[in-house]
Amino acid sequence: MSNIVPVILSGGSGTRLWPLSRETYPKQFLPLVGDKTMLQSTWLRVAPVSASGPIIVANEEHRFVAAEQLQAVGVKPAAILLEPIGRNTAPAIAVAALEATRDGQDALLLVLPSDHVIRDETAFRSAIAVAASAAEAGKLVTFGIVPTAPETGYGYIKAASGEGVRAVESFVEKPDLDTARQYVASGEYFWNSGMFLFKASRYLEELARLQPQMLDACRKAWEQARRDHDFIRLDKPAFEASPSDSIDYAVMEKTREVAVLPLDAGWSDVGSWSALRDVSEQDADGNAHRGDVIQIDCHNSYAYGDRLIAMIGLDDVIVVETPDAVLVGSADHIQQVKDVVAQVKAKGLPQATWHRKVYRPWGAYDSIDNGQRFQVKRITVKPGATLSLQMHHHRAEHWVVVSGTAEVTRGDEVLLLTENQSTYIPLGVTHRLKNPGKLPLELIEVQSGSYLGEDDIVRFEDTYGRA
């Protein structure tokens, strides 16, 4: 097969699967179907056809979790490009294409969203092989999904008659139900999947012709990027200057070189909780559950949670439980979760953005209790990891080691604490926490003071470039 490099777009922060998916930890990092996360599954399904590790385009805030999840499945990305601000898919793919041609290579770029499900992976890989010939010949190939229903939530592609890779006659916007039924009945229309295969050079040539301002901004952002260990930090002012547009609007709907390959491989963009129910394993009554769930006389229901969920006599109902939020809704109205998130944001509540458990490059913390002038966190530090050297103006901290070993810098002192030992960090004292051991460090932190916000941190040194 041709020299194929996957480009995995992981910059999204969608909330259609709230409260599980949130801005700081969106659905591509969640194990929604099976034991692998959506990002991991995206890579693993195309690893057999890939000539190298993938190029990842990610949000700056998601850089460590993206890198760690790929490392966990044994792949080193060819590059991780960090977007300082979202500019939609056309610029994201442009910087990936520039990176792919950096050493004079001209690979085929297999552009994939990081949060889709494809159940028939063999069929998908076979389709990639078919599309590769057309892409090598200079076509910009998009994969059109053979529709299984008159779906009104997707855009459609009208293809010319024939077999295999075909010419595109038109792209059409999301239709109403009657129009969608006509599309499906005709056999000429396919769902627009947002997956593509083309030469890196061909995409850059078409972008130069159709969107020169965008390409110029992306090239400057890439040329002026800061290469920081595994990450390529795009220049923010240059990238901000790029127009924001999707690859469909910017290129695919305007070029004469577009082609479509119909794909029937059990695809879903998992765009709602009801869609996740539909791609999950179901019982004889159409129920799909994840976690400890008891259901009695329920039909077509879906439940997801960590605690015990009991459901009685419910039809077409979605129940999602997290430590700090619960969603209950009719499957027919579950798309309105976006309106819920808007109200959560309007109220200034953290649940729109943060989970109770927050992941950091050194580990994670879970805010298990809080009240007037105090907060309790359970902190986990990875082996060998170090938090920043820091100080707080408004709070003191008590640390109790639950398991593992902690190296604590407190002012001029360096302490070594083990299980059941503790220390106190007075307000205003410089301190740092390190795990010098080979096992995870777990400790309980009790904060007390007049202000306990995460922005009351003054960093002096930081391994992760946050000082």
- What is the SS3 assignment for the chain? CCCEEEEEEECCCCCCCCCCCECCECHHHCCCCCCCCHHHHHHHHHHHHCCCCCEEEEEHHHHHHHHHHHHHCCCCCCEEEEECCCCCHHHHHHHHHHHHCCCCCCCEEEEEECCCEECCHHHHHHHHHHHHHHHHCCCEEEEEECCCCCCCCCCEEEECCCCCCEEEEEEECCCCHHHHHHHHHHCCEEEEEEEEEEEHHHHHHHHHHHCHHHHHHHHHHHHCCEEECCEEECCHHHHHCCCCCCHHHHHHCCCCCEEEEEECCCEECCCCHHHHHHHCCCCCCCCEEECCEEEECCECCEEECCCCEEEECCECEEEEEECCEEEEEEHHHHHHHHHHHHHHHHCCCHHHCCCCEEEECCEEEEEEEEECCEEEEEEEECCCCECCEEECCCEEEEEEEEECCEEEEECCEEEEECCCCEEEECCCCCEEEECCCCCCEEEEEEEEECCCCCCCCEEEECCCCCC
Q: Are residues 257 and 278 in the same domain?
A: no
Per-residue model confidence (pLDDT) at position 1: 53
Q: In the chain, what percentage of residues exceed pLDDT 70? A: 99
What does the alpha-carbon distance between residue 457 and residue 467 come to, in Å, rounded to a whole number? 10
Q: In the chain, what percentage of residues exceed pLDDT 90? A: 89
C-alpha distances (whole Å) from 335 to each of 114, 266, 270, 419 are 20, 21, 12, 47
Position with higher pLDDT, 162 vs 308: 308
pLDDT in tens, 1-17: 579 999 999 988 778 99
On whether residue 467 sits in a domain, the answer given is no
Structurally, how many domains does the chain consist of?
3
Per-residue model confidence (pLDDT) at position 464: 80
Instruction: Pick the last residue of a domain from 345, 380, 398.
Output: 345
Task: Spell out the residues 6+ positions from residue 319 whose beta carbon is closer than 8 angstroms to its own.
Answer: 301, 302, 303, 304, 305, 309, 311, 326, 327, 328
Residue 228 has pLDDT above 90, yes or no: no
Q: Which of 124-133, 226-235, 285-294 has the lowest mean pLDDT?
A: 226-235
Residue 467 has pLDDT above 70, yes or no: no
On whether residue 388 sits in a domain, the answer given is yes
pLDDT in tens, 37-94: 999 999 999 999 998 899 999 998 899 899 999 999 999 999 999 999 999 999 999 9
Q: Are residues 26 and 167 in the same domain?
A: yes
pLDDT in tens, 414-453: 999 999 999 999 999 999 999 999 999 999 999 999 999 8
On whether residue 198 sits in a domain, the answer given is yes
Q: Are residues 121 and 230 in the same domain?
A: yes
Q: Are residues 94 and 203 in the same domain?
A: yes
Per-residue model confidence (pLDDT) at position 462: 85
Q: Are residues 251 and 305 in the same domain?
A: no
Predicted confidence band of residue 329 (pLDDT cuts 50, 70, 90)? very high
Q: Are residues 327 and 367 in the same domain?
A: no
Q: What is the CATH number of the domain that holds 425?
A: 2.60.120.10
Task: Spell out the residues 6+ positions from residue 70 whose beta carbon is closer than 8 angstroms to its own.
Answer: 39, 40, 43, 53, 54, 56, 76, 77
Q: Are residues 35 and 121 in the same domain?
A: yes
Per-residue model confidence (pLDDT) at position 147: 94
Predicted confidence band of residue 384 (pLDDT cuts 50, 70, 90)? very high
Asked if residue 320 lies in contact with residue 19, where contact means CB atoms within 8 angstroms, the answer is yes
Predicted confidence band of residue 313 (pLDDT cuts 50, 70, 90)? very high
Instruction: Pick the last residue of a domain from 307, 325, 345.
Output: 345
The two tokens of residue 440 are 């995870």
Q: Are residues 369 and 341 in the same domain?
A: no
pTM of the model: 0.90
On whether residue 352 sits in a domain, the answer given is no
166-172 long-range CB contacts below 8 Å, 24 or more apart?
166/259, 166/260, 166/261, 166/262, 167/259, 167/260, 168/142, 168/252, 168/258, 168/259, 168/260, 171/248, 171/252, 171/253
Domain residues for 436? 357-461
Instruction: Pick the last residue of a domain from 345, 366, 383.
Output: 345
Q: Are residues 116 and 254 in the same domain?
A: yes
Residue 466 has pLDDT above 80, yes or no: no
On whether residue 417 sits in a domain, the answer given is yes
